[in-house]
Amino acid sequence: MMGLAIFFGASTVSPEPAPPSLSPLLQAAMRGDERAIRGLYQDHEVAVRRFAARLVGDADGAEDLVQEVFVALPEALRRFRGASSLRTFLLSMTAHRASHYVRAAARRRAAHARLETDAQSQPAQPDATLRRKELAAALQRALDDIPLDQRVAFVLCEVEERSSPEAAEIVGADEATVRARVMLAKKKLRELLEKRGAR
């Protein structure tokens, strides 16, 4: 799978902060301090939003998912012990809460594709632009057709270019499982794209 940044945006994953020794800001947030929770939102919202957008493939669904994650954060912090970075913890929350948003976005894409098929005319676009949009849409529809655990692993490792150990920590699985999920996802995506004539 080459050139995924073309379809999902440039991979600008910021370096993970080292596993925290529970900073004062985090300690305050764990006590329920609203200003501290807003501070955590400001520190991590961009990374969570980027991951959600790539995972869901729909701006509205991704926005709803981000909001759900941060609304749930004060309660979730009760389980946080600092074994991983807070960023990893937040991405894990995002992955585990994504299924509803992924399914809803897939339904919207399918409905949109049906409407486009029924449309009589489309505005003229340069060939390269049109081809790029078609490939992006085909890849997104193919992602809709693979299991969520494979989709999450694929987005983490292939789109966000995270390492297998980091992805394993986010999804709560061992590295071998993550690598197997990525391999299965790539195989299935390749088959789906070839079947649909998108290469």
**Where do you find CATH 1.10.1740.10 in the chain?**
17-117
CA–CA separation, 161 and 154 (whole Å): 9
pLDDT at residue 23, as a whole number: 86
Which runs of consecutive H residues, i.e. helices, occur in the chain?
Answer: 4-8, 24-30, 34-56, 59-76, 86-96, 99-118, 127-144, 148-154, 164-171, 175-195
Give pairs for 40-48: CB < 8 Å, separation 24+: 40/73, 40/86, 41/70, 41/73, 44/86, 44/87, 44/90, 45/70, 46/14, 47/13, 47/14, 47/87, 47/90, 47/91, 48/90, 48/91, 48/94
Note the pLDDT tens digit of each residue in 37-85. Answer: 999 999 999 999 999 999 998 888 999 999 999 999 999 998 898 888 9
In percent, the amount of the chain with pLDDT more than 90 equals 53
Average pLDDT in the chain: 83
pLDDT at residue 161, as a whole number: 93
Q: The tokens 């057709």 sit on which residue?
A: 145
In CATH terms, the fold of domain 17-117 is Rna Polymerase Sigma Factor; Chain: A (1.10.1740)
CA distances to 5, 64, 102, 132 from 186, rounded to whole Å, are: 16, 27, 18, 19
CA–CA separation, 164 and 160 (whole Å): 11
Q: What are φ and ψ of residue 198, in 5° steps?
A: -105, 120
Q: Are 91 and 45 in contact (CB under 8 A)?
A: no
Q: How confident is the model at residue 7 (pLDDT cuts 50, 70, 90)?
A: very low
Task: Tell me whether residue 149 is exposed, middle or buried, using C-beta atoms within 10 angstroms of its C-beta: 0 to 12, 13 to 18, 19 or more.
Answer: middle
pLDDT at residue 77, as a whole number: 92
Note the pLDDT tens digit of each residue in 139-193. Answer: 888 899 999 999 999 999 999 999 999 999 999 999 999 999 999 999 999 999 8
Q: Are 137 and 196 in contact (CB under 8 A)?
A: no
Q: Tally the residues of the chain.
A: 199
Query: Which amino acid is residue 183, in one-letter code?
Result: M
The DSSP secondary-structure symbol of 78 reads G
pLDDT at residue 98, as a whole number: 93
Average pLDDT over residues 107-124: 62
pLDDT at residue 117, as a whole number: 55
In CATH terms, the fold of domain 124-199 is Arc Repressor Mutant, subunit A (1.10.10)
